[in-house]
């Protein structure tokens, strides 16, 4: 006798999963399945990447604790076509059948296999359309002279160069220099950005060491003159 894992989900705490469970229990009985466990997510949106009951179901599936996953409807289980296809691929590799009660899809049947192929093709088409739309949007933005990506942080370059000439380390400069982001919040400049700005201005470590030696020499000379040593 095959063991079946039942999965149901409702989006709000006010909704009752009893109807879904009743349909799935009756279907399992008609098919002669032994119910391994009922996984129920209550008050959980289908867009959530992580759901407690679904996560537990997938963990049990990877341990091959049941033979069939039985859901009330596709959208109760998957948050997107890609999510559905990825899960179906994983179930196939684990030799676990997938049945959607409302859509009457059973991947163990020839029609179910055909539907699996169609759903996979639709998911690929969906991804291709999204990618093409993004590329088209980026092309249009560039044609209009718009900058792609996050706005550049307004950083006081002169202050960074001045601090470096004084011999401060990259991290020391990053800790002292702040900038205001697009939301008006003050943030520290990253060490990487400090390094890039110094490099862009052609300031090398050798230049800094030379400047520090000159400063040190000048300080000693001044001390000698002042003390009459």
Question: What 8-state DSSP symbol labels residue 107?
Answer: T
Q: Which of 11, 22, 50, 80 is catalytic?
A: 11
Q: C-alpha dihedral over 211, 215, 220, 226, to 10 degrees?
A: 150
What is residue 47's three-state secondary structure?
coil
The verdict on whether 11 is a catalytic residue reads yes
189 with 178: CB under 8 angstroms?
Answer: yes
- Name which of 75, 151, 149, 63 is nearest 119 in CA terms: 75
| CA distances, 206 to each of 209, 211, 220 (Å) | 5, 9, 21
Kindly compute the dihedral angle of the four CA atoms of residues 20, 79, 49, 27, in this order, to the nearest 10 degrees. Answer: 30
- Catalytic residue annotation: 11
């Amino acid at each position: 006798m095959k063991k079946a894992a039942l999965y149901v989900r409702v989006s709000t705490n006010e909704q009752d999963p009893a109807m879904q469970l009743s349909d799935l229990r009756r279907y399992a009985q008609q098919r002669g399945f032994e119910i391994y466990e009922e996984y129920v997510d209550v008050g959980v949106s289908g867009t959530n990447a992580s759901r407690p009951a679904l996560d537990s179901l997938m963990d049990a599936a990877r341990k091959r604790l049941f033979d069939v996953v039985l859901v009330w409807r596709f959208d109760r289980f998957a948050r997107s076509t890609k999510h559905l296809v990825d899960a179906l691929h994983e179930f196939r590799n684990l030799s676990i059948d997938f049945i959607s009660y409302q859509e009457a899809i059973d991947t163990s049947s020839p029609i179910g296999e055909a539907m699996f192929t169609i759903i996979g093709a639709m998911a690929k088409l969906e991804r291709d359309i999204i990618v093409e739309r993004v590329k088209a949007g980026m092309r249009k933005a560039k044609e209009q002279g718009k900058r792609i990506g996050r706005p550049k942080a307004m950083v006081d370059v002169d202050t960074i160069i001045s601090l470096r000439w004084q011999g401060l380390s990259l991290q020391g400069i990053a800790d002292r220099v702040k900038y205001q982001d697009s939301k008006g919040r003050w943030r520290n400049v990253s060490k990487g950005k400090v390094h890039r700005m110094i490099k862009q201005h052609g300031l090398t470590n050798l230049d800094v060491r030379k400047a520090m030696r000159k400063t040190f020499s000048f300080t000693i000379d001044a001390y000698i003159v002042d003390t009459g040593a």
